[in-house]
Each structure stands twice: as structure tokens, then as C-alpha cells.
Structure 1
Amino acid sequence: MRHWPCESCGADLRFAPGQTRLVCDHCGHVQDIPETAPADRRGMGELDLRAALDDRLPASACERVRTTPCPSCGALVEFQGAIHATECPFCATPVVVGTGETRLIKPQAVIPFRLTEREARQAMVDWLGRLWFAPNGLVQYARKGRALSGIYVPYWTFDAATRSRYTGQRGDAYYTTRTVTVQVDGRPQRRTQQVRQIRWTPVSGRVARDFDDVLVLASQSLPHRYTEALEPWDLSALTPYRPDWLAGFTAEGYTVDLPAGWQRGQEIMARTIRGDVARAIGGDEQRIGRVETSYDRESFKHVLLPVWMAAYRYNGKSYRFVVNGQTGRVQGERPWSAWKIAFAVLLALIAAGIAALITQMR
């Protein structure tokens, strides 16, 4: 957790979600976060991807931090100041700082938390309440349980200009008529049918697309199905990184390095490019053969996005939930109530029995 001392009493300040200020819960002191200067915003621009992959980034783009991987979930836990032990923010496993430092690419931008902890908890409780088969006890436990943890999760964003050559086949539909024999009231009758056929024609060509801010999760501690369900993010709200935004919150170091992130980014781009190829081929159906893509003007950013997290144990089971700290979208492990499921099955059987009885009485 990032610590920022209060100018009045020395206690820790925390960033107030949805505002541009730090507050002290001990003495009530309020400290405004300075507005972003134009020069700082220009510094939020993308870094050269090829230079980074070749380890040629300037020293100012990197930093050395004390980090230790969580022995349970693998999250990269960062230590600040004189702190030597803490809990993993993702799974609550005790973590002790290791020896040495890690050289990481600095965050360039951040989306500050917009939702407060109370608002995030209400969004989670509302989400659970819409799950009809969720245990009522878990909903109440979540409403009254311990506070959610605010975590800045690392992401990469990638830009690239792509040019792709493709080969494939264009399928144009046409119809032929055939005669078939069908049984009508036990007697054979001849009928005509329209049969859809496809005429395939070899095609080739080129497509081009410029990608901007392709988002790739740089953490291995959260399942992709969780983080993808939190999308979309409004990346226009990115602001140049300042430690102030992290005051009172935890920031996870990236555990998906830049080469692995770029590979994932290319996979995401490839899906979009295949859609472009299918549209370029045209026709009623398409067969895509080979797609060869070249990349130019590749660049990237390391950004931090806000996520509220909660983990609960209920009736011997663990449930984990995440809330988008910008939009309030919720995702988590879907809980099931055996009693509600049994009751629904009983109602279905009763309804089926009544329907069968009415049919017999007619």
C-alpha cells in the first residue's frame, strides 16, 4: 500500500475516489492533487515497443522496486519504505519481502478510482441480489462483511499500424430446384424444393488497420474471465501517473512481461484483422486461407486500472468478487443455493404434473 504522510498530523493520507484530493481520516486535513500540467500529459505518450523489447529504454522509463511474488496466487507484491511483511491483496496470504530489487517499467498513466468502497460494495450486493439461485445468507454476509480492497491492476496498451495480405475464397449463394417425394396422409406426393448452393471463387488482397490502445492484462493473479467481464474501460480517463492517486491503495506489479503482453496484443489484433478480411472478401460466405501481417509504428504504455476486490468464506467455500472501480461492473464466482435449486425443481415438477392432469381430463 502506498503511504503519503499528512502535512498536519503525519498520519497516512488516502486518495478520495471520485475527487482530486487526498484526505486524512485522523485529523480531517484535505490536500488537493495538483492539476496535470501539459508537459506531464505529453509525457504520458507511448513508448517505443521495439526499443523496449531490445532492452533499449531510457533509464528514466524504469524503476527499481522491492517486490516478492505471492507464494499462493503469484501476484507481485510491492513493498514500500521500511515495511518487510504484509498480506497479499488478492488472496490474503502472508508475504515477507525477499532480498534484492526488481527493475520494472514505470507506470505511465492511471485511471483513478471513481467509485468509493461503499458504492463498490453496493454494486456487488446488487449483482448478487440479481442472481436468483445465490444463497441469501451470502448476500447478507457480503453486505455486512469486511471492507473491499482497492487495487490498481497493471495493464499494457499497444498501438500499431498493420498491413495484411490475405488469400481465401469468396462464396456466392445460388439456388437449384429438385424434386423430392414426401408422405402426405400415407400417400407419396412429389414436391419441389429450393436447394442452396455455394459457388466458391479464389480471392486475394490487402487490408490495413491502425490500432490504438489495445488493452492487455499484465497480471496473472486474476482470472481472465473476471477482468474481461469488467470491460469496457473508458481509457480517455487515463491521467499521467502520480503517486498521489495510489495513496491508501495497493498497486500490483506486472507479472506478464512486455514480450508476453505484446504476443497477447497481436492475438487480439489478429481477431479484428480476420474480421476485416472477411468483409473485404465479401459474398455470402468466406473461407480465409492465409493472413500475413506486418506491423509498423508499434508503441506501448504501462497503465494502472482501478479494481475493488472482495473475498468471502461462506459455508466452507471461498467466493471472490471484483468490481470495476471506474464503472461499477461486477464479476465473480457465481454462488449457488442448493435449497433454491431444489425448490425450483419441485415447482417445475408440480407444474408439469398439473399440465399432464389437465391434458388427461380433456
Structure 2
Amino acid sequence: MPPPPIAPETAAETTHRFPCENCGADYTYDPATGQLTCAHCGHTDRIRSGPWKGSALKELDFHAAVAEQLPEIETEVTRVSTCPNCAAQVEFDPQTHARECPFCATPVVTDTDESRQIKPKAVLPFAITERLAHQAMSNWLGQLWFAPSGLKQYARKGRRMQGIYVPYWTYDAQTRSTYRGEHGTVYYVTERVQRNGRTETRQIAKVRWRPVAGRVQRFFDDVLVLASRSLPKRYTDALDPWDLSQLEPYQPQYLAGFRAEAYGVDLETGFAEARQRMDRVIERDVRFDIGGDRQRIHAIDTQVSDVTFKHILLPVWLAAYKYRGKTYRFVVNGQSGKVQGERPYSAIKIALAALAAAIVVAAVAYLAGQQ
């Protein structure tokens, strides 16, 4: 028997509630239709277009934000507590003082502190339903060798998954780089060697280097950086790619029935990671500009200007499973259905596989000895 799953949040804990205009029950956002749907009476309502619909989402000035000089309309005061177990930033409404962390089910109690945070600028609505997310996770688990049978049974039984909007930063920047390096041209020389009383020839590759200098420039658009510390970064990064052309101007109706985590990675820390990604691309640009068969780079000096950013929310389905006292988490890209996650290993299955391998090796050795 598989162990019981972590209990999902209750409807009363939902931060964003929208009453059905027909019966008064709560609407939830339905990824299958892209509308608000009432689970009680089935009534639906569309989400009205926001003020930026049909135009580019407005970027915010990075340096103004760092200096805390953003217009007041771009920020909001929130009550956020850090989960003591997984470090998720759990947001509380004014009437709520305690709730379970949606990422690991640890009880979290709010304090009285308030903080001013940058509002989400855009949201990528869930595109796949919980049922399809379950199917994707079940298919993924079915491909894992040595996973405990209870884990696969858990997936097949369709336990509840959490729909979480995870915070990200996107950065735009104009870069201009000067560099110094060397351009390498490969050429071959013929060498003669004596081997076993005979003269043999062989081609030896050598490189002729010459110094070069130049400049490259590139505009970076929407460099995406995870702004959450609650989930293993290697798994959330592996959920790429995201189609950010489907971003919608932020409206809380998209969050109806879902959770949204507050960002735990500040804007400057996120930009430091974005710069690392930019620098790797710039290095590739420099190598291409140097050309030749080989390249050496001695120095790159990059000037960065016109830095802007957006705070956006991306959809993730989350499942948690306890196996022998440890929690394993699985994440599903709520747009594409791509799955990543932690996984336990079945010691029994590994032992049986090792035994089977030993039997095969012994059998092969026996047959070889009979020939």
C-alpha cells in the first residue's frame, strides 16, 4: 500500500476568491476553457481583457526599482512568512494567521511584519488541467527504473496536485562588449618516423595564432530567472522552455483556485544570475566574431545599459509523496506538461537487478568455459 499523500490545501485557504454571479459559490480558473468556472452550478464567466491587452507588457526600470523609486502603483504591501522547512515565501491575506505551506505541507504561522513587494506584471495562465498533469507525471514515473511500486501506484490513483504560480523575473538589457584575443588557423605538417625498419609519414595538426581585437553587441530580451527558493532549482530550470509570448497582463482572476508564491529571490540577486547567462552568450558571440579554426579569449569588457525587468508568474503543477519518512516532490510545467522531480529508489528492485546481472555474467562465463 502506498503511504498517504500530503493533504492539499482547503478551499477556505484560497487567497483569491471570486463569487459565482449565479449561485455565489467560488469560481475557479479552468485551464481547459480559459474561463472562470463554478464547480457548484457549472456557470462560467470569461476573464475580461486587461488594460494592456493587445500591446506589449510594460517593462520597469531596474535601477529605479533597486533605488526603491518605482511608482507606488507598481508595488504592494504584503504579509509574507518564510516556511521553516522549505523556505517558500507563503503569502497571507489580512484575515489569515496560519496555513499549511503549499510546497511541503509544513504549518506556517504569520508574524505581524509587512513588506512592500513589486507587483506581478504578467501571468502565464495554466494551459493543462490537473488530469493531464497527472497523466504526464504517471507517464514520466513509468519510465523510471528502480522506482518503488508504491510511487507509481500513487500517481495512477490520481491524488490531488497543487496548482502553483511560481514567481520569476525577466530582464532586458542592451550590451556592448570589446574584446582581445587570438585567431587560430589550423595547418598540417608532414612528419616522417621510423617504425619496424620502415619509414612512415603522418600529418600533424598545428595552430598559427595571430592577435585580434574587436567589439560585439547584443540586446537581451526576457532573460528568465527563477525568483523562488522553495523548489529544487535544477528541476524548475529543467521545465524550460516557456512560451512567454502567451503571457497575459496580470489579473487575479487567473489565480482563482490556485496558489501564487511571493518571490524569495530579490531583484538584484536575480539580475546577477541573468548577467551570468548573458556573459555566456556574449562569449559565444566573441568566439564567432574572432572566427578561424580556434579561438583564444584574453579579455572581454561589457557595458550594460537600458536594463528593465518584469515580475511574472508561471504555472506549475506540484505533487508531493512521502516515502520512508522523506518527502519527494514532482513538478509539471503547467503550459507544456513537461515533468521533472525527485525520486526514491527501491532497494529491493536494485538488489534483484544486481542478482539477475550476476546470474547472467555467471552463465556467460560458464558457457564460455565449455567451448
TM-score normalized with structure 1 length = 0.93
Q: Return the alpha-carbon distance in structure 1 between the equivalents of residues 44 and 297 of structure 2.
A: 59
Structure 2 match to 1:101: 114
Of the candidates 13, 32, 43, which is equivalent to residue 46 of structure 2?
32
Alignment of 1:134-213 (within 5 A): 134-144=147-157, 146-182=159-195, 187=196, 189-213=198-222
Q: Return the alpha-carbon distance in structure 1 between the equivalents of residues 109 and 25 of structure 2.
A: 24
* Cα deviation code 1:68-126 (max 9, x no counterpart): 11122111111124122111111111111210321011101000001111111111110
Q: What's the offset of the Cα at 1:65?
A: 1.3
Alignment of 1:143-292 (within 5 A): 143-144=156-157, 146-182=159-195, 187=196, 189-292=198-301
Q: Return the alpha-carbon distance in structure 1 between the equivalents of residues 185 and 163 of structure 2.
A: 54
Q: What's the offset of the Cα at 1:35?
A: 3.0
Q: Which runs of 5+ in 2 are unaligned?
A: 1-13
SS of 2:112's partner is coil
SS of 1:266's partner is helix
SS of 1:160's partner is strand
Q: Return the alpha-carbon distance in structure 1 between the equivalents of residues 56 and 64 of structure 2.
A: 17
State whether structure 2 residue 337 is matched by structure 1 residue 328. Answer: yes
21-30 or 106-115, which deviates more: 21-30
Structure 1 match to 2:312: 303
56-65 or 315-324, which deviates more: 315-324
313-322 or 220-229, which deviates more: 313-322
- The percent identity for this pair of structures is 55
User: 1:142 touches 1:312 (CA, 8 Å); kept in 2?
Assistant: no
Q: What's the offset of the Cα at 1:306?
A: 0.2
Q: What's the offset of the Cα at 1:43?
A: 7.2
Q: Return the alpha-carbon distance in structure 1 between the equivalents of residues 113 and 370 of structure 2.
A: 82
* Cα deviation code 1:226-255 (max 9, x no counterpart): 111100000001000000000111100111
AA aligned to 1:18 is A
Structure 2 match to 1:313: 322
User: 1:48 touches 1:299 (CA, 8 Å); kept in 2?
Assistant: yes
Alignment of 1:44-55 (within 5 A): 44-55=57-68
Structure 2 match to 1:6: 20
SS of 1:209's partner is strand
Q: Return the alpha-carbon distance in structure 1 between the equivalents of residues 218 and 90 of structure 2.
A: 38
Q: What's the offset of the Cα at 1:42?
A: 4.1
Structure 1 match to 2:135: 122
User: 1:41 touches 1:239 (CA, 8 Å); kept in 2?
Assistant: no
User: 2:27 touches 2:36 (CA, 8 Å); kept in 1?
Assistant: yes
Q: Return the alpha-carbon distance in structure 2 between the equivalents of residues 350 and 19 of structure 1.
A: 55
Evaluate the alpha carbon distance shift between residue 233 and residue 354 of structure 1 in structure 2; reply closer, same or farther with a 3 A threshold. same
Q: Return the alpha-carbon distance in structure 2 between the equivalents of residues 133 and 180 of structure 1.
A: 54
Q: Which runs of 5+ in 1 are unaligned?
A: none
User: 1:171 touches 1:200 (CA, 8 Å); kept in 2?
Assistant: yes
- Could you say what the CA RMSD is over the residues aligned between the two structures, in angstroms? 1.8
Structure 2 match to 1:341: 350
282-291 or 118-127, which deviates more: 282-291
SS of 1:272's partner is helix
Structure 1 match to 2:29: 15
Kindly tell me the number of residue pairs found equivalent between the two proteins.
Answer: 357
Q: Return the alpha-carbon distance in structure 2 between the equivalents of residues 226 and 297 of structure 1.
A: 31
